[in-house]
């Protein structure tokens, strides 16, 4: 961390952060010791180009071939960047855990905030499930014969329970442990992505750059049946955008850890945008190298979901290949760990305002570890249970993408309506007048993502989304509309000051302690 008087980690910075949090009606219960890099690293780790970028390659190559990377990857990443820009402006003004729920409530009212919370929560649980299912499939593909692992439902369930349980345990032990591991993950992803890029280029049988803009309709058996046979090349290309859009997601983790980050109003929006930009650039280099290394595009597309292993087996020496596989597997493991952090902070923040069943338990922070222990283990169990039904990786991915981007788009759209009306005080990181344009683009992108996310073979994602909307509408109008008050606003903030002092005292975080402890970080 910087050691200057105003740099991250200084007592004065922590005091300012705590004052901002108090002004929004919340206590400093979590331990604020994450630097700007650590806040960036947690989003970069969840995005993890070595997870979605590799495990979902079949969606691109099995659709239109090399153009899914050469043209599709930049387009999909641009979509994510637009959302990150819009969310960054709001995060700078309202740096709280569970940020999207809080933003939606402040900018659009408690009903829309409540719906935003549930979209974000289900999306985060789904993305955790998708990440860890992808890790299981990768480990089986890379080391299955050596470890005696087979891709069946029972083995997958046991693997995911142990894997996700270990993520919860590390998170349980405190933000110090989690931050150390996610910082490591940030460096590891850079290192392995660069090594993969160099390896594929060095061992490519030939370099045919035209592959990067060549469209071929590989839907149906020609693409390993990743997508059903489709006559429209444009639709198959759009379906392939799920590869970059799914990969470049989860950057809301920077917002969810706002209350653990120093100079959050500055660092959180920067971290979201930087994590998207750097993931897009390094991911593009890595995947372009992969496309150029493919020995035969028609044969590769026919491999479907197995395209990464087929290509690696064909071009990479065994020793180098397994070394890279190990680095990828570790990165994917750390990706899941960072996602548990994000999920748990969302649960904690929503429960803090009474938005969940058993909120009194889910909002509790351990005085020993300064983590929301019940929220951590609840999110973990729900993610594992989701995979029992949604056993198809592509369906889990679609649900995660749809729900997350709806939760991203709602507060951004509400911000455009409130901008200059009820929302007049911006944070230090702002887009100025360009914010409204970004918001319009976010709404258009969210509609496109929903359309492509429910196309066959992912029809179940549509049924899940419709069922969710019906159930949440019934619950809201039948119960929550009268009970749920949302985050504190106006006089409610002033009435909470005694509760804030009591909550901080319960975790050993008196005002002076908060400053002193974080200043040592």
**What is the secondary structure of 291-340 as a DSSP string?**
HHH-S-HHHHHHTGGGHHHHHHHHHS-HHHHHHHHHHHHHHHHHHHHHHH
In this prediction, residue 435 carries a pLDDT of 96
Q: Give the CA radius of gyration of the chain.
A: 22
DSSP 1-36: ---STTSTT-HHHHHHHHHHHHHTT----S---B-H
Predicted pLDDT at 391: 53
- pLDDT lower than 50: segments of the chain: 1-12, 510-521
Q: Which two tokens stand for residue 397?
A: 């991915």
Measure the CA dihedral 129/397/270/263, to 10°. Answer: -20
2, β-bridge pairs: none
Calpha distance 350→345 (Å, rounded) = 9
Question: Strand, coil or helix: what is 231?
Answer: coil
Give me the count of residues in the chain: 521
The predicted model scores a pTM of: 0.91
Whether residue 128 contacts residue 382, with contact meaning beta carbons closer than 8 Å, is answered with no
Q: What pLDDT sits at residue 516?
A: 37
Cβ of 423: how many Cβ atoms within 10 Å? 20
- Could you identify the residue written with the tokens 């299912």? 133
* Contact call for residues 45 and 300 (beta carbons, < 8 A): no
């Amino acid at each position: 961390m910087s050691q200057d008087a105003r740099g991250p980690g200084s007592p004065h910075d922590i005091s300012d952060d705590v004052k901002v949090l108090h002004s929004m009606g919340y206590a400093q219960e979590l331990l604020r010791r994450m630097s700007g890099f650590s806040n960036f690293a947690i989003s970069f780790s969840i995005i993890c180009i070595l997870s979605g970028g590799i495990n979902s390659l079949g969606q691109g190559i099995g659709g239109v071939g090399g153009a899914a990377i050469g043209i599709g990857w930049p387009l999909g990443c641009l979509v994510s960047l637009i959302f990150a820009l819009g969310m960054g402006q709001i995060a700078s003004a309202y740096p709280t855990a569970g940020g999207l729920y809080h933003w939606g409530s402040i900018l659009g009212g408690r009903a829309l905030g409540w719906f935003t919370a549930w979209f974000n929560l289900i999306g985060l649980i789904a993305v955790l499930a998708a990440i860890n299912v992808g890790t299981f499939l990768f480990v089986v593909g890379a080391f299955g014969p050596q470890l005696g692992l087979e891709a069946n439902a029972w083995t997958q369930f046991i693997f995911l329970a142990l894997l996700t349980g270990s993520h919860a345990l590390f998170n349980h032990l405190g933000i110090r442990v989690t931050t150390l591991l996610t910082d490591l993950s940030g460096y590891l992803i850079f290192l392995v992505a660069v090594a993969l890029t160099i390896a594929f280029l060095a061992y490519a049988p030939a370099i045919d750059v035209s592959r990067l803009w060549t469209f071929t309709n590989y839907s149906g058996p020609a693409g390993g049946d990743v997508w059903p046979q489709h006559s429209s090349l444009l639709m198959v290309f759009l379906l392939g955008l799920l590869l970059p859009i799914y990969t470049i997601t989860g950057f809301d983790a920077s917002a969810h850890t706002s209350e653990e980050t120093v100079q959050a109003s500055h660092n959180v929006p920067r971290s979201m945008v930087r994590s998207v930009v750097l993931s897009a650039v390094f991911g593009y280099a890595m995947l372009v190298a992969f496309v150029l290394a493919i020995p035969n595009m028609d044969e590769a597309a026919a491999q479907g979901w197995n395209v990464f292993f087929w290509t690696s087996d064909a071009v990479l020496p065994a020793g180098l290949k397994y070394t890279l596989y190990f680095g990828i597997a570790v990165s994917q493991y750390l990706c899941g760990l960072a996602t548990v952090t994000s999920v748990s902070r969302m649960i904690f923040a929503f429960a803090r305002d009474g938005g969940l069943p058993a909120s009194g338990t889910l909002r509790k922070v351990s005085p020993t570890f300064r983590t929301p222990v019940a929220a951590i283990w609840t999110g973990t169990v729900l993610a594992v249970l989701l995979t029992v039904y949604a056993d198809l990786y592509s369906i889990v991915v679609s649900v995660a993408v749809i729900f997350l981007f709806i939760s991203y788009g709602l507060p951004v759209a509400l911000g455009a309506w409130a901008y200059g009306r009820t929302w007049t005080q911006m944070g230090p990181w702002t887009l100025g007048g360009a914010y409204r344009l970004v918001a319009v683009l976010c709404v258009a992108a969210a509609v496109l993502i929903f359309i492509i996310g429910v196309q066959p073979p992912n029809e179940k994602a549509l049924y899940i989304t419709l069922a969710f909307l019906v159930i949440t509408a019934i619950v809201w109008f039948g119960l929550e509309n009268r009970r749920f008050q949302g985050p504190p606003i106006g006089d409610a903030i002033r009435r909470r000051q005694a509760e804030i002092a009591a909550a901080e005292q319960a975790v050993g975080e008196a005002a002076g302690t908060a400053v002193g402890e974080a200043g040592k970080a």
